[in-house]
Amino acid sequence: MHARRSPIAATIALCLFACSALAADLEPGELLRQAEAERQPYLETLKDLVAIDTGTGQEKGLATVSQMLVKRLEALGAEVGTRPATPSAGDNIVGTLKGSGTTNFLLMVHYDTVFAEGTAAERPLRMDEQRAYGPGVADAKGGVAMILHALELLRNQQFDDYGTITVLFNPDEEMGSAGSKKIIAELARKHDYVFSYEPPDRDAVTTATNGINALLLEVKGKSSHAGSAPEDGRNAITELAHQLVRLKDLGDPDKGTTVNWTMIAGGEKRNIIPSRASAEADMRYSDLSETERVLADGQRIIEDKLIGDTAVELRIDKGRPPLAKNPGSERLAETAQQLYGEIDKRIEPIAMRFGTDAGYAYLPGSDKPAVLETMGVVGAGLHSDEEYIELSSIAPRLYLSVAMIRALSAGTSR
């Protein structure tokens, strides 16, 4: 008895055998030539985006870029709506294109950056022979431009064999996506495929990302005079130090889980035995069971106290979930490799140590949607004065987005 293959798996399998054709009237070489012709318009869009400050929380700049993106999506024929990204500043922008097929795609990326007001004026887009530089040029305004110009190519080709292409631009990824994670999850459930446009640092697509949690350790002791009656106190800082030494190995290298204690606080004055102390840790993980395991191990460890009559509490605040290793993402990477091979290029499937919004799109235990990350332009130096994109990657990455949509839509049109 054979296992039943899911519709998404069957579609991807079909692509691996037949995607070289893309469509009867458009060969890979021609599609790449069209993408190369789109490079200069792409750079013009990128220049406009980089020229506006959109640091997370910068309402004026976020509003300006939001209006720009709404107009661009409408010009592409999309039905566009916005939702406030409360509690964050700015709007989630959703554009929808309806086609004649049945396969549904969500293309998403953020338009906020990490840079302070005035940075765009200080460091406007500049280029040398190989790279373009500027605040947010790769992370992720290069991804915003990639989506817009991939859609422009599809429109120019009069290709509409997809069912729906939905675009989501969100304004708060750099601070955890508090105001956009819900809409990401809602939209993702309605689509077969999700492409997220964070930048890779080489020609790669990402099939797995880390999740991010915060561990919070709190100790309550008792204050007393540090000089005349220290024995009457219960030193929370000393107990905290004891626990931190014991909790330092909560990570699991074999599973890629890291727990690093990065912040501590405690004490009021030098002459008072501290009654309170706390610490915070950064946790990164890819195995979905690790959150529960780390918390259970930590709570067992803190039962052994150095100083009696102190209270020790450990909790986890869940952050961005991982895009865990899964067959759907891996099959999409295989499709990307096949399509890239058609233009004599190689692309690498990778797993990333940091977390992205792809984690909110991924639904554990389901093959729908299949999620692929780092579909954006190749770049590096993120969050620094030297952030850049590789100019040579623009056309091939535009080709990749368009080719993936065309290939995955094959055989589904009505």
User: Strand, helix or coil at 315?
Assistant: strand
Contacts of 120 (CB under 8 A, 6+ apart): 50, 51, 52, 53, 61, 134, 135
Which amino acid belongs to residue 248? K
Q: Which residue matches tokens 């209270």?
A: 311
Selected catalytic residue, list 38, 173, 198, 387: 173
Active site residue 249: no
| CB 285, CB 213: distance < 8 Å | yes
Single-letter amino acid code for the residue at 243: Q
* Crossing angle between the packed helical segments 141-156 and 28-37, to the nearest 10 degrees: 120
The candidate with the shortest Cα–Cα distance to 316, out of 332, 297, 330, 335, is 297
Helices 394-409 and 7-18: angle between axes, nearest 10 degrees: 120
Give, as one character, the DSSP assignment of residue 410: T
Q: Is 313 a catalytic residue?
A: no
Catalytic one among 38, 53, 91, 112? 112
Q: Which amino acid is at 93?
A: I
Q: How far apart are CA 302 and CA 307, in angstroms?
A: 12
Instruction: Give one DSSP letter per residue of 327-361, joined into a string.
Output: HHHHHHHHHHHHHHHTTT---EEEE-SS--THHHH
| Contacts of 350 by beta carbon, 8 Å cutoff, 6+ apart | 200, 204, 205, 206, 207, 374
Which residues belong to the active site?
112, 173
